Amino acid sequence: MLATAPGRALSRDKLVAVLWPEATPERARPQLSDAVYILRGALGEEVIRAAGDDLSLNPALLTIDVARFEDAVAAARWEEAVELYRGPLLDGFHVPDSAEFEEWLYTERSRLGRQYERALEALAAAAEAARDHTAAVSWWRRRAALDPLDGAVALRLMQSLAASGNRAEALRHATIHARLLREELDAEPDTAIAALAERLRREPPAAPTTVPAPLPPSPAAAEGATPPAVATIIGPASAVVGAPRPWRLRAFAVPVMVIALAFTATYGASRGGRVASARSVGVLPFVNMSPDPANTYFSDGLSEQIILALSRVDGLRVAARTSSFALRNRELSVRAIADTLDVQSVLEGSVLVDGDRMRVIAQLIDARSGFHIWSAQYDGDRRDALALQDSVAYAIAGALHLQLAGGGAQAAQRVVSAEAYDLYLRGLYLRNSLQADQLRQASVYFDRAIALEPRFAGAWAAKASVVAPMAYFRYANRDSIVAQLRMLTSRALELDPNSGEAYTVLGMLKLFFDWDWTGAESALQRAVALNPNDAHAWHHLGNYYSAMSRPREAAAARARALQLDPLNARTLASGLSDLLLTGDTAVALDRARRAARLDPVHPLLLGRGPSQPAGVAPILMSQGRRDESIDEYLRLAALRGATRQEVESMRAAYASSGVAGFWKQWLAMDLRQSPSPDPMRMASLHTLSGDTTGALDWLERAYAERNPGLIYLMHDRTYAPLRAQPRFARIARAMKLPT
């Protein structure tokens, strides 16, 4: 709220009334004070200024994207404004039970969204005045994406398309616009649109006045540059939120929507014979074009299944879902996206679901030239989504002169009902959060899918994939979870013996819970052999090598995982200890900072599992940079929910008693936050605090419950001071860990 009021102060009463409307002033004001304290700890003491009862941001110390955006609009620096606008304000952010906050956010989103629309229209008009119709088309397409029902914008886009010599696309847009108006508003298009479409049909084609060419990426987009000390609160540009019509909540990912015959496809010709070199592809999440935002699960699930199908193409490297989906609706050029994913081609598309009908549009783009390699449009029954994903994979394989391997999980899924498949997609949509409630809901979806289709191998394997982390993070009883994991994995492999995902889960079972080192290595090696494009399998193979104290092999496996999935914060964070062991400290520090930028509250970075926080802090400590390390740990403590008193106690303990004193206070915070703490995390905290006896007591407790974190006992340098202790050695021998 302060960031959207640059140069102005807001009273504490106003902030409390919006953020804590149900709380009494006696309760709300301390909450506001705690929030300000945490923000000052993260951003600097002087960033938030207090003057009496008012609060404001210090613009000299913090650059705010909203302020920069509004300044650019006011100064008519339209391109800068468009570059700064990344989407709706605080997209995805929600304050429960606060109608006041939602009203404020709605107003601000609408206000900023209108300014963004104004900037796009100004750029389009300027391009038209300069007779650069190709650029005008690009700007009008982006403007039309914000409101496909706006007749004035549709007309301007059609005019620019026609002026650039692309009258076919202009007519297609007229058809789409008319269809959407009839479906959404039961209305007909403006007479001007109908008249222009009729004129374009009758008149002979004219030569384009400009030569179409792909727009070069801006330096900021191409290099992913972000100014230092920038407070970014404008969210991903999926839409401008705040308009009453649901269509405004989704943006067109594919510039040209073509109404095709049912399940017929048209293919774009490759240009210049260059497609044979495009042997790597990133699949962006298909955009949900349906009026119901809940259908996002379907479009995301279809994208994920296309990724799985493409991973069976011999000779094709496919970027992992985690990284591809992290670029959802980012304002990046195709070339910048390809550079980020380290691929040569990009697949993007959209999905429109209406009852049992669906329309899917996909296009494969050469990242170097910006030209289409292949494109297709499908209309049909959503129950045929499984056949469609294979059709897309086969078409892309053919366009790249590659061979799609047969069999596998996809073959096993072709007989499932539409309802079961919908449930499966809903579960996939939730499972990657690793949050307890969403993992449980995903598990319910998979159970319902299995009840409908008992031979649906994908659902069995997917259920196993959400069960395992529930045990690791202690969301549920370990013994019952392991029994489920064993049954689910066995059934998935029985139904589909060539499921790489099932072998990955089998490897996880044997590694983390059975402590069967030979069996774990065999299963995980089989998983990466079945699907070399599975970053998840490579990640867990790296976990195996770490547990076996083979850091160079672990680092190599995770490097492969990151090549496939470069934006995966989990893989970045989990491989840091191996890099420290191999002496690659600079690489470790770079990856730790990347992980923190991608997901600053990831459980591994905050120390929510069996271990202490991974990331920048322990690396700085290993370099002897203790003061910097402690500052970073204090920042993490604030993110974990430490009170102001706890943070100050840790700071004071470090000043008076050194690092061991700091960890004693961290232990007190952890015990307050975790009534039933993880024994492995407690063992490491006692070790860091200098309490050898307490550490060994907790390790023996962890062994008694077969804690999954024990597999890293010999790998984790935290326990180096304990290795000469007989009690420690007994545990390592009993687990048959390498010494």
Tokens 């340098």 found at: 717
In single-letter form, the type of residue at position 696 comes to L
Highest-scoring range by mean pLDDT, 108-117, 227-236, 257-266, 708-717: 708-717
3-class SS of residue 48: strand
The residues near 479 (Cβ < 8 Å, ≥ 6 apart) are none
Q: Say if 75-251 and 253-406 have the same CATH topology.
A: no
Structural contact between residues 537 and 524, judged by C-beta atoms closer than 8 angstroms: yes
Q: What is the mean pLDDT of the chain?
A: 79
- The Cα 4–Cα 19 span in angstroms is 15
The CATH superfamily holding the domain 253-406 is ABC-type transport auxiliary lipoprotein component (3.40.50.10610)
Residues 597-626: what's their mean pLDDT?
90
pLDDT digits (tens, 9 = 90+) for 356-395: 777 888 888 888 777 777 777 777 776 666 666 666 656 6
Question: Where exactly are the structural domains of the chain?
Answer: 1-61, 75-251, 253-406
- The Cα 184–Cα 435 span in angstroms is 36
- The Cα 498–Cα 621 span in angstroms is 45
pLDDT digits (tens, 9 = 90+) for 173-188: 887 788 777 766 778 8
- Using N-to-C axis directions, what is the helix angle for 478-495 and 457-472, rounded to 10°? 160
Instruction: Supply the pLDDT for residue 221.
Output: 33
Residue 275 has pLDDT above 60, yes or no: no
- The Cα 272–Cα 325 span in angstroms is 30
Residues 214-234: what's their mean pLDDT?
36
Tokens 């005008």 found at: 136
Residue 204 has pLDDT above 70, yes or no: no
pLDDT digits (tens, 9 = 90+) for 641-674: 899 999 999 999 999 999 999 999 999 999 999 8
Give the residues across from 375 on adjacent strands. Answer: 363
pLDDT digits (tens, 9 = 90+) for 19-65: 777 778 777 788 788 778 777 777 777 878 888 888 888 877 777 78
- The Cα 481–Cα 705 span in angstroms is 13
Closest among 545, 525, 261 to 376, alpha carbons compared: 261
The 8 Å CB, 24+ separation contacts for 549-555 are: 549/714, 549/715, 549/737, 549/738, 551/577, 551/578, 551/579, 551/581, 551/582, 551/715, 552/578, 552/582, 554/578, 555/579, 555/582, 555/584
Structural contact between residues 94 and 225, judged by C-beta atoms closer than 8 angstroms: no
Give the residue with greater pLDDT, 89 vs 683: 683
Q: 75-251 adopts what CATH topology?
A: 1.25.40
Instruction: Supply the pLDDT for residue 226.
Output: 34
Tokens of 238: 């999926």
- The Cα 732–Cα 739 span in angstroms is 8
Closest among 402, 252, 253 to 315, alpha carbons compared: 402
